[in-house]
């Protein structure tokens, strides 16, 4: 199994690498186009800011590589948001796999903090990405922006409102939470992704 993690100027790549190692998967971290295209599975992680990340992907000619991937691809956190069409974070045009607009949480209650940081339940779980993951399992989230519920949502979370905790369209998957920081539940989700046909 040839698993590639796309290298770009986003944090958390090392955590994803270690999480994969814990489930017995050795991945390659690279921004080499041919290596990415030859992979069996692609992971597109991310902690960072949308416009900076898109600029780096453009400079490395990686936008089309991601958009035209034919193998299973998993976007994590910012990676999932960049797979959408547009982000309100610095008014950023994104890759456009999912025709959705990434939106800032709007909070009127001072007791509710943005970003959302911490554990939150996920429910309405669909597709084999969530095999053996119980409804309302807790995952670890860190984000100020969210993707509204839509027809590609395969999991839901609630923080000030219900929103898409995960997306899927064809061979593209995205999760807003961090499976690499979500203990046994996150490891199961990564294992399920690796086992996708």
Catalytic one of 123, 178, 187, 195:
178
Known active-site residue 77: yes
d(CA 105, CA 114) in angstroms, rounded, equals: 7
How far is residue 37 from each of residues 6, 32, 132, 147, 164, measured CA to CA in Å? 11, 9, 30, 27, 28
The residue assigned the tokens 């770009």 is 8
- 84 noted as active-site residue: no
Helix (H, G, I), strand (E, B) or coil at 84: strand
Q: Which of 84, 100, 143, 180 is catalytic?
A: 180
Q: Tell me which of 77, 84, 94, 139 is the catalytic residue.
A: 77
Contact 76, 16 (CB under 8 A): yes
Give me the half-sphere count of Cα atoms (radius 13 Å) on the Cβ side of residue 122.
30
So which residues are the catalytic ones? Answer: 77, 178, 180
């Amino acid at each position: 199994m040839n698993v590639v993690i796309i290298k770009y100027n986003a944090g958390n790549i090392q955590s994803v690498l270690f999480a994969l190692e814990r489930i017995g998967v050795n991945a390659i971290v690279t921004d080499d186009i041919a290596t990415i295209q030859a992979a069996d599975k692609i992971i597109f992680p991310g902690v960072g800011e949308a416009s900076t990340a898109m600029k780096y992907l453009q400079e490395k000619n990686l936008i089309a590589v991601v958009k035209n991937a034919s193998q299973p691809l998993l976007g994590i956190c910012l990676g999932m948001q960049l797979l959408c069409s547009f982000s309100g974070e610095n008014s950023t045009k994104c890759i456009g796999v999912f025709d959705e607009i990434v939106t800032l949480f709007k909070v009127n209650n001072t007791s509710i903090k943005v970003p959302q940081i911490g554990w939150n339940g996920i429910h309405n779980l669909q597709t084999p990405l969530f095999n053996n993951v119980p409804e309302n399992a807790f995952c670890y989230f860190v984000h100020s922006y969210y993707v509204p519920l839509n027809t590609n949502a395969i999991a839901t979370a609630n923080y000030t409102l219900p929103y898409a905790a995960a997306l899927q369209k064809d061979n593209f998957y995205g999760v807003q939470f961090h499976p690499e920081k979500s203990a046994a539940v996150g490891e199961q989700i990564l294992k399920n992704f690796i086992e996708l046909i």
